[in-house]
Structure 1
Amino acid sequence: SIVYTLYDRYMVGGAMPVKKALLLETADDLKSDYFLERREMGMINVGGPAVIETADKVFRIGHKEALYLGKETKNVVFKSADPKKPAKLYINSAPAHHKYPSRKVTLKEADVVVTGTPEASNHRTINKLLVNSVLPTCQLQMGMTELKPGSVWNTMPVHTHNRRMEAYFYFEVPEKQGICHFMGSPDETRHIWMKNEQAVLSPSWSIHSASGTSNYTFIWGMAGENLDYGDMDVRYPDTLK
């Protein structure tokens, strides 16, 4: 399933093929002959080994590996290599105006940043997978942040970026644990409790941060005006309301 949003016309969804292959079909909202006629797509596999077929290529995507599909990619089919260990493909898509090559990206190829501290409970590894320091895209960016044991805060201090929207997908949340995701204007914040393998949208004016009752992993995806990962308007905790 996939959701079409009006935040930079971003789409968020997932595919979990088990015994049968899943064909990526176009959606009525797109008014296109096929899904990627005017769009690009990124996905990160959070399940078992996946096989992604297109009209001219076959990609094998392992756990926590990413795949970028460029504009005009046709006949996209999702499969699981082993039905007993089905793939779980978290998918993001954005409009595209140039055709860039499709490409698989592994964790070894990621642009990796280790940041935060145990003292601040935000020690984490940021794996930039589908970003312009790794491969060219039109506007889509995706990556994965893994919190170290004992750390629970992500994206603190918080920020907004009026040039881009963002979506978070939380996973590896232990049983009976949860994520308190903070959102809204920095001067009027709200929160929403998230469970394992759930996604949340963040418009460009909203903060996006969270604290968990355990450490966890999340996938972030962005699209909008630019590809500058560091383009953020930071707000420190003592200024939030």
Structure 2
Amino acid sequence: MDIRYSVNQRDFKRYTTDEIRDEFLITDLFKADEVTAVYSHVDRMVTLGCMPVNEMVSIDKGIDCWKNFGTHYFLERREIGIFNIGEPGVITADGAEYKMGHEDCLYITMGTKEVTFASDDAAHPAKFYMVSAPAHKPCKTTFISIQDANKRPMGDLKTSNARTINQFIHPDVLETCQLSMGLTRLEEGSVWNTMPAHTHERRMEVYFYFDIPEDNVVFHMMGEGKETRHIVMQNEEAVISPSWSIHSGCGTSNYTFIWAMGGENKAFDDMDNIPTAELR
């Protein structure tokens, strides 16, 4: 498991491009029949990826739960949200099977002992993208299809940010301890997300960009609003955003991204907005 420690905004100002990428960028999430995991000390969130091909893969594969979490199994004191961004697959959670189509989501509660992943077709595998947060009580394991997500159209083509926010793991959809997740899809001709920019001191966020066309990238903006930086993101990469950092992006094409939040509250609109003209 890759462990990332907390970074403060004062030191961040002096980082080189490579240092920014080493601290915040998450790559190579989908390796055949493996679980890739990055543990961030920012609100103790864990970002994971799994691409089962030839075998059924356990969420604990390659993770020393006692060493990393002081627990006997991964979700002993954690909850998790899982999206399938690949072909059809199956997640089994304590014996219950959930068929996962493209962009379907599964929330699994704290206390679930066994979680496994499988693909319907090894030649066209599922790709399970996951974010886990600490939890203090069990909730209800819930499957949410892309069709059943709470949809919020936002933006306008005139400002290059027409998009639909699909809320999955969200207070308006289901109860969780602290985890919130959703999927935002930009329309063709739109490239900007999360503008005007904002921070939220009360929680952190992880962005995962995918459906970026070949030979295109997303410039993910981060840092304090008065002194911004950026990371160039390739397809199927994630980025950690501490509470003091903005988190917005501009692509050379339209794209889709999954956002995950954890921290003090789950109020979606709890943001400290920064007027665009004040960004530096």
How far apart, CA to CA, are the structure 2 residues paired with 1:227 and 1:75?
27
The one-letter amino acid of 2:40's match is: T
Q: Choose from 54, 64, 70 the match for 2:109.
A: 70
Q: Choose from 1, 7, 10 the match for 2:45.
A: 10
Structure-1 residue corresponding to 2:255: 216
The one-letter amino acid of 2:56's match is: A
Structure-2 residue corresponding to 1:154: 193
| Paired residues for 1:38-77 under 5 Å | 38-77=77-116
| Paired residues for 1:1-241 under 5 Å | 1-25=36-60, 26=63, 27=65, 28-241=67-280
For residues 138-164 of structure 1, the C-alpha deviation after alignment (integer angstroms, 9 at most, x for no partner) is: 000100000000000000000000011
How far apart, CA to CA, are the structure 2 residues paired with 1:131 and 1:7?
20
How far apart, CA to CA, are the structure 2 residues paired with 1:195 and 1:214?
12
The one-letter amino acid of 2:80's match is: M
Unaligned stretches of 5+ residues in structure 2: 1-35
Q: 1:20 aligns to what SS in structure 2?
A: coil
Displaced runs of 4 or more, over 6 A? none
How far apart, CA to CA, are the structure 2 residues paired with 1:6 and 1:188?
23
For residues 31-56 of structure 1, the C-alpha deviation after alignment (integer angstroms, 9 at most, x for no partner) is: 10000000000011100111111223
Contact map agreement 1:113 1:126 (CA 8 A) in 2: yes
TM-score (norm. length: structure 2): 0.85
For residues 98-147 of structure 1, the C-alpha deviation after alignment (integer angstroms, 9 at most, x for no partner) is: 10111110122211100100010000000001111101100001000000
Higher helix proportion, which one? 2
Q: CA RMSD in A?
A: 0.8
State the 1:234 CA deviation: 0.7
Q: 1:207 aligns to what SS in structure 2?
A: coil
Contact map agreement 1:109 1:134 (CA 8 A) in 2: no
Q: 1:166 aligns to what SS in structure 2?
A: strand
Contact map agreement 1:177 1:212 (CA 8 A) in 2: yes
Q: Percentage identity across aligned positions?
A: 49
TM-score (norm. length: structure 1): 0.98
Q: 2:247 aligns to what SS in structure 1?
A: strand
The one-letter amino acid of 1:8's match is: D
Aligned length in residues: 241
The one-letter amino acid of 2:127's match is: K
Q: 1:169 aligns to what SS in structure 2?
A: strand
The one-letter amino acid of 1:204's match is: S
